[in-house]
Amino acid sequence: MNIDKKLISALGAIQEETNIEYINDIIELIKSDQLYREKINDILKTHNIVSYKDAKEEFLDLIIHYINCVLLDDIIDEIEYYNVTQLKRLFKIKDDDFYKLRYDEIEEIIMKQIFRIYEDNQIEKLEAIHKSKLQGLFDLSYDQINKIVTDEVERALMQGGDITKLDAYYKMPNTPNFSDDSPDKVISKEVKDLVWKRDGGKCGKCGSSIGLEFNHITPFFKGGSNTFRNIQLLCEKCNRLKSTKF
Ligand SMILES: [Zn+2]
């Protein structure tokens, strides 16, 4: 762990609120930079907690509380991101835990951050990175974060925001661009998630993280399939450049 000031003050705040002994013991471990699996196991054993499952609620509380404290200044820096990742790993938090067990809380956190990011109706490079960090913090899939973010995108669009400057994920509903999508052309959620992960949320040509689209490497009309191997992430600009070549 990297023990920074915000982590210490977040932990202090949790300690004031909780009277759960083993959580207090674990917080002491973190504060003294001793958070190892064996030491966590010892503490759980001492307090007769048989498995990580039984402590999951409190562990999720602890992490969410930390994230909330971290976001008081609107930014998650590298160290803080690393801290959260470490906590998730050590407490055995799985991919679906936040979404399934704490949907309301993470929705609130993300909405607040997205609102801040979209305030000026455009999303800058740093903000795009920040947004994909939010996705990573809570282990959300492409569609899961999309669902939470959509309202905020729509609000920004209504205030005159430019869609190309707003969001890497959002798809306008019922626009002519998408009316020719036959069901066969629809790329599955699983493939989108895999491609997104493989390509690191960046355009395969220029590395931009703005205005990303899923692109068929061999075009659909030339018989290209919707499989993982044939789909790549391209930014809008590179995608248009590519399609004018065909
Ligand atoms: Zn590009």
**pLDDT beyond 50 at 234:** yes
Choose the final residue of a domain: 164, 199, 231: 164
Segments forming the whole domain that contains residue 183: 176-245
pLDDT above 70: percentage of residues in the chain: 91
Q: How much is the average pLDDT of 142-148?
A: 84
* Distance between Cα 205 and ligand 1 center (Å): 5
Parallel, antiparallel or unpaired: strands 231-235 and 212-216? antiparallel
* Distance between Cα 215 and ligand 1 center (Å): 11
* Distance between Cα 63 and ligand 1 center (Å): 35
**Mean pLDDT over all residues of the chain?**
85
Q: How much is the average pLDDT of 14-40?
A: 91
* Distance between Cα 175 and ligand 1 center (Å): 22
Query: Both 130 and 61 in a single domain?
Result: yes
Query: Both 205 and 232 in a single domain?
Result: yes
The two three-digit tokens of residue 155, written as one number:
């609000």
Q: If DSSP codes are grouped into helix, strand and coil, which group holds residue 176?
A: helix
* pLDDT per residue as tens digits for the range 84-111: 999 999 999 998 999 999 999 999 999 9
Query: Both 102 and 194 in a single domain?
Result: no
Query: Both 156 and 182 in a single domain?
Result: no
Q: What CATH number did the domain enclosing 230 receive?
A: 1.10.30.50
Q: With bands split at pLDDT 50, 70 and 90, how would you rate the model's confidence at 23?
A: very high
**pLDDT beyond 80 at 169:** no
**pLDDT beyond 50 at 29:** yes
The predicted structure's pLDDT at residue 181: 47
* Distance between Cα 86 and ligand 1 center (Å): 32
Question: What are phi and psi for residue 232, nearest 5 degrees?
Answer: -135, 160
Q: With bands split at pLDDT 50, 70 and 90, how would you rate the model's confidence at 231?
A: very high
Number of domains in the chain: 2
Query: Both 119 and 213 in a single domain?
Result: no
Whether the Cβ atoms of residue 213 and residue 239 lie closer than 8 Å to each other: yes
Query: Both 222 and 129 in a single domain?
Result: no
CA–CA dist 180, 242 (Å, integer): 19
Strand partners, 213: 234
Whether the Cβ atoms of residue 118 and residue 161 lie closer than 8 Å to each other: yes
Whether the Cβ atoms of residue 102 and residue 60 lie closer than 8 Å to each other: yes
Query: Both 47 and 115 in a single domain?
Result: yes
Q: With bands split at pLDDT 50, 70 and 90, how would you rate the model's confidence at 48?
A: very high
CA–CA dist 90, 33 (Å, integer): 13
In the chain, which ranges are continuous DSSP H helix?
5-17, 21-31, 37-46, 52-70, 78-90, 97-101, 103-118, 125-137, 142-158, 163-166, 176-179, 189-199, 236-245
* Distance between Cα 149 and ligand 1 center (Å): 23
* Distance between Cα 196 and ligand 1 center (Å): 14
* Distance between Cα 166 and ligand 1 center (Å): 16
**pLDDT beyond 50 at 179:** no
CA–CA dist 145, 69 (Å, integer): 21
Query: Both 151 and 209 in a single domain?
Result: no
Residue partners of 234: CB distance under 8 A and separation at least 6: 203, 204, 205, 212, 213, 215, 242
Strand partners, 235: 212
* Distance between Cα 51 and ligand 1 center (Å): 47
Report the candidate in 51, 34, 48 with the shortest Cα–Cα distance to residue 86.
34
**pLDDT beyond 80 at 61:** yes
Query: Both 212 and 152 in a single domain?
Result: no
